[in-house]
Amino acid sequence: MAVKTTLNLDDRLLREAKKRAAEEGRTLTSVVEEGLRSLLTAEAPAEPYRFRPVTVRGTAPPAVDLDDHDALVEFMERGD
């Protein structure tokens, strides 16, 4: 069953839809219906990844020179 309705479409979009219909030898209605069906049957996009940093309260940073490789290794091996 078809229902007649009125839509307000962007002029450029309507021109492109009419052009597509003419190129394919179809009606404007069939082009609009195909577009709506495609949109309505498409899967909803997965929620985009959102980085959520974890922050914790702690003590003062270790007293180690981050530019000193040997000092870092020694600190990590101590397990403070």
Residue boundaries of the structural domains of the chain:
11-41
Predicted local confidence at residue 80, as pLDDT: 57
Phi, psi of 26 (to 5 degrees): -120, 170
For the cut 80, the answer to whether the pLDDT of residue 70 exceeds it is yes
Query: pTM for the whole thing?
Result: 0.52
Predicted local confidence at residue 10, as pLDDT: 94
- Rounded Cα distance between 4 and 75, Å, is 76
Indicate the average pLDDT of the chain: 88
Predicted local confidence at residue 64, as pLDDT: 82
Q: Are 27 and 21 in contact (CB under 8 A)?
A: yes
For the cut 80, the answer to whether the pLDDT of residue 44 exceeds it is no
